[in-house]
């Protein structure tokens, strides 16, 4: 079955899905009248400006900032490290520009998803918190009602697919740490990751949001500061990588050193695909993470949703890409998995490889925390928001997640990454239906907020 899975994953992410996501993002760019480009000052005042007037969140909710950081932690993962390295090794330096294109347009799509999530959220009488998933959006917004209910169950049912997201993140993290620290057992590392994850999710929403608030902030600031310090250790620091990106975004790259020649088609293909993958474009993952935000209008939280894509795609991915290009390691024939560690080590000898491994741990762990929160809300939808037995089933789901993490080091890496691509593709296809159906609602909400703000 493996060759079929690999071929199918490659085909759907070669052009079809990235182009569909690109077209849908352009549609939402038109619906919002270029809000994030033409009125960015309003975006900042309604988000960062509002953060200065911080107040305690009401029962069953968290602050807008904590919901934003929970979602950002799920988004900022190994795609910002290995994903960028893959785009450069397969598509050359020019692929980074096409990642920016996808990220800037996907801002509007993520904004729309969060607006819909706040609009159709419900309060669980059992859990005592507000929640929303793609399924709630389908059931509440898609007409005819029968179609909405059918799509809702189909969307929620994806949690019974192989939980490949936990497998890929765990395997990548344990692999990086075992290389950085010789003698570290991948199985014991997986066990530690699973136990710490269980300890945090046991406290439900407020515990998850509190840990994300602290860890994501420290993780992202540390990564950006150390990586840019490393970039400035090389001659040409930031402007030579930028020249490479702009030069090869529209021109083929000849073979050199250990790097095979790259065509313009490859640069566009891998840039768009990895760009969509790293910011979860079109998957609807942001809906659940933002649903518990204590906010006065859906659009205000939607603006936070757009900002997280800018941070992920423009700031973090660009930093990784510039470090790789500045170091020159991208021409040495290293694999995508080795490239970031080699670049950090070249910039910061004796410390760089360990720092890259610790970043992989932090990125992977926070991604799994966010993924657990999202998938558990899908599980709650299937069991019923008012079902008194939902907590018992939730404990079983946590146990299943823990077992999955323990099994990760024993699974073939190429198989689970291919399955990851297929499952993500299915999420995108299911989510696109709701985004098309409910685009006019997002437009109406945006216009209403702009009149009030």
Query: What confidence score (pLDDT) does residue 252 get?
Result: 64
Low-confidence ranges of the chain (pLDDT < 50): 257-258
Query: What confidence score (pLDDT) does residue 32 get?
Result: 93
Residues 295, 299, 303, 308, CA torsion sign? positive
Query: What confidence score (pLDDT) does residue 180 get?
Result: 65
Query: What confidence score (pLDDT) does residue 298 get?
Result: 93
Query: What confidence score (pLDDT) does residue 227 get?
Result: 94
Q: How far is CA 205 from the centre of its chain?
A: 19
- Round to whole Å and give the CA distance between 317 and 418: 22
Residues 311, 313, 316, 322, CA torsion sign? negative
Burial track 396-417 (b if 16+ CB lie within 10 A, e otherwise): ebbeebbebbbbbbebeeebbb
- Round to whole Å and give the CA distance between 194 and 198: 6
Angle between helices 16-31 and 264-278 (to 10 degrees): 60
Burial track 268-300 (b if 16+ CB lie within 10 A, e otherwise): bbbbbbbbbbbbbbbbbbbbbbbbbbbbebbbb
Residues 344, 345, 347, 348, CA torsion sign? positive
Query: What's the start-to-end Cα distance of the chain, in Å?
Result: 55
Q: Using alpha carbons only, give the angle 89, 279, 194 rounded to the nearest 5 degrees.
A: 90
Burial of 109 (0-12, 13-18, 19+ CB in 10 A): buried
Q: Using alpha carbons only, give the angle 336, 337, 343 rounded to the nearest 5 degrees.
A: 80
- Six-digit token string for 404: 């999955």
DSSP 8-class letter at 251: S
The residues facing 259 across adjacent strands are 256
> What stretch of H or E contains 140?
helix 134-141
Class of domain 2-452: mainly alpha
Q: Where are the domains of the chain?
A: 2-452
- Round to whole Å and give the CA distance between 71 and 74: 5
Spatial CA neighbour of 128 closest among 208, 59, 63:
59
Burial of 386 (0-12, 13-18, 19+ CB in 10 A): exposed
Query: What confidence score (pLDDT) does residue 229 get?
Result: 93
Backbone angles phi, psi at 334, to 5 degrees: -70, 155
Query: What confidence score (pLDDT) does residue 301 get?
Result: 93
- Round to whole Å and give the CA distance between 358 and 238: 24
């Amino acid at each position: 079955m493996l060759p079929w899975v690999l071929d199918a994953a490659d085909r759907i992410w070669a052009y079809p899905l990235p182009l569909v996501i690109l077209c849908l993002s352009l549609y939402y760019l038109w619906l919002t009248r270029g809000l994030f480009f033409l009125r960015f000052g309003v975006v900042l005042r309604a988000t960062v400006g509002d953060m200065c007037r911080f107040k305690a969140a009401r029962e069953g909710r968290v602050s807008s900032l904590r919901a934003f950081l929970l979602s950002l932690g799920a988004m900022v993962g190994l795609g910002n490290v290995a994903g960028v390295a893959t785009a450069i090794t397969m598509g050359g330096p020019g692929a980074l520009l096409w990642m920016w294109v996808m990220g800037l347009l996907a801002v509007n799509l993520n904004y729309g998803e969060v607006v819909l999530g706040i609009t159709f959220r419900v309060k669980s009488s059992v859990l005592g918190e507000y929640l929303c998933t793609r399924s709630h959006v389908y059931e509440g917004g898609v007409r005819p009602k029968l179609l909405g209910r059918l799509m809702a169950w189909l969307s929620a049912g994806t949690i019974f697919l192989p939980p490949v997201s936990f497998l890929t993140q765990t395997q990548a993290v344990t692999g990086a740490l075992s290389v950085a620290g010789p003698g570290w057992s991948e199985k014991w590392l997986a066990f530690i990751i699973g136990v710490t994850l269980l300890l945090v999710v046991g406290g439900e929403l407020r515990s998850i949001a509190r840990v994300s608030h602290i860890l994501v902030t420290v993780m992202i600031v540390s990564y950006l500061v150390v990586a840019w310090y490393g970039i400035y250790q090389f001659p040409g620091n930031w402007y030579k990588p930028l020249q490479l990106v702009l030069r090869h975004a529209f021109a083929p790259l000849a073979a050199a050193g250990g790097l095979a020649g790259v065509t313009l088609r490859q640069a566009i293909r891998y840039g768009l695909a990895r760009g969509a993958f790293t910011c979860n474009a079109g998957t609807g993952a942001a809906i659940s993470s933002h649903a518990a935000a204590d906010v006065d209008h859906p659009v205000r939280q939607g603006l936070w949703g757009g900002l997280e894509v800018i941070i992920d795609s423009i700031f973090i991915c660009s930093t990784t890409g510039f470090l790789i290009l500045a170091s020159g390691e991208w021409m040495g024939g290293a694999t995508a998995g080795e490239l970031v560690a080699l670049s950090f080590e070249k910039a910061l000898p004796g410390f760089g490889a360990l720092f890259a491994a610790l970043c992989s741990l932090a990125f992977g762990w926070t991604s799994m925390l966010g993924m657990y929160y999202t998938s558990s809300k899908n599980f709650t939808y299937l069991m019923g928001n008012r079902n008194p037995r939902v907590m018992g089933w939730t404990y079983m789901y946590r146990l299943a997640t823990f077992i999955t993490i323990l099994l990760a080091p024993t699974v073939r890496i190429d198989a689970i990454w291919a399955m990851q691509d297929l499952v993500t593709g299915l999420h995108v296809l299911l989510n696109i239906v709701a985004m098309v159906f409910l685009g006019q609602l997002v437009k109406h909400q945006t216009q209403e907020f702009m009149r009030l703000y």
